[in-house]
Amino acid sequence: MFEILKKEALNPTVMRMDIRAPLVAKKAKAGQFIIVRADDRGERIPLTVAGCDRDTGAVTIIFQIVGGATMTLASLPQGGCVADFVGPLGTPTHVEGLKKVAVVGGGVGCAIALPVARALHEHGCSVTSVVGFRSRDLVILEEEFRAVSDRFYMMTDDGSYGEKGNVCVPLGRLLESGERFDEVIAIGPLVMMKFVAAATRPYAIRTIASMNPIMIDGTGMCGCCRVSVGGEMKFACVDGPDFDAHLIDFDEAIKRSRTYAEFEAKAREKHCNLFKKEVESNAKI
């Protein structure tokens, strides 16, 4: 069992947890992920390593509460335990030798973008961070990004914080002004990454997208996380999760991401109903 050392709500739908997993903390690098199960009957949830402390053995995970499995995980108390915590998995993000990089994060994808920005910063790279959220109340990790960024741009769809617009607004402005990067790294919703790739393509700037498709085992055996890259089939869990964004078939990836939308909605509804009955039952005692 893996102890939950710390638990914190970053916004109404996003939770941060520090899990005691010293073997994972010892080896994990930016861009890699773990698979966690809340209990012995729970689903396998792939989550990026948002940070780790090799001295204490703590691994930080950040996740959005979107379905039954993540609702169960979020309900666990600080001091409690998760049943399984396996990793690190996947290929680490390449950061060596890069001198100037733009890191573009959207929504909860910023939890993945932050360790990448931090690793680049620690390697002496000049980091321009562009992060976007729907509104101010959903903003997460702002101070952490500012601490590792040479330039920082905050965007909100409704203009309630930072600048109004999506992440392509400041990125496009920089590129049009003649700014060039060794690499642009995009991490967030598939549609966002698709448009970031479209923005950088005319300038022939290498662009990386971190893919988070449907995944089960995380070792390449199930094939659920397949992604079409340059006409070839790749597995995000072992070949990625980072791929050349200009070669990814985003339309296919978006279509596949919706495969279990109805099932997930039913699972969430079932979990909410069970929780409601439990609350009502406790109230009668």
pLDDT for position 64: 92
Residue 156 or 285, more confident: 156
What's the confidence (pLDDT) of residue 279?
41
For residues 82 and 63, the answer to whether their CB atoms sit within 8 Å is no
In percent, the amount of the chain with pLDDT more than 70 equals 91
Are residues 68 and 150 in contact, defined by beta-carbon separation less than 8 angstroms?
Answer: no
Q: Tell which wins on pLDDT, 180 or 218.
A: 180
pLDDT of 273 reads 57
Query: Is the per-residue pLDDT at 223 higher than 60?
Result: yes
The CB density around residue 282, as the number of other CB atoms within 10 Å, is 8
CA dist 148 and 127 (Å) reads 7
Residue 257's pLDDT band (cuts 50, 70, 90): confident
Distance, in Å, from the CA atom of 111 to the CA atom of 261, rounded to the nearest integer, reads 23
Nearest residue to 183 (alpha-carbon basis) of 203, 166, 154, 213: 203
**Cα–Cα distance for residue pair 196/217, rounded to 1 Å:** 29
| pLDDT of 193 strictly over 70 | yes
Q: How high is the pLDDT of residue 268?
A: 63
- Per residue in 13-27, pLDDT (tens digit) is 999 999 999 999 999
Domains of the chain by start residue, with CATH: 2-89 (2.40.30.10), 100-257 (3.40.50.80)
Cα-based distances in Å from 262 to 7, 154, 268: 29, 33, 10
pTM of the prediction? 0.85
Which range (112-121, 162-171, 186-195, 234-243) has the least confidence? 234-243
Q: What is the pLDDT of residue 274?
A: 55
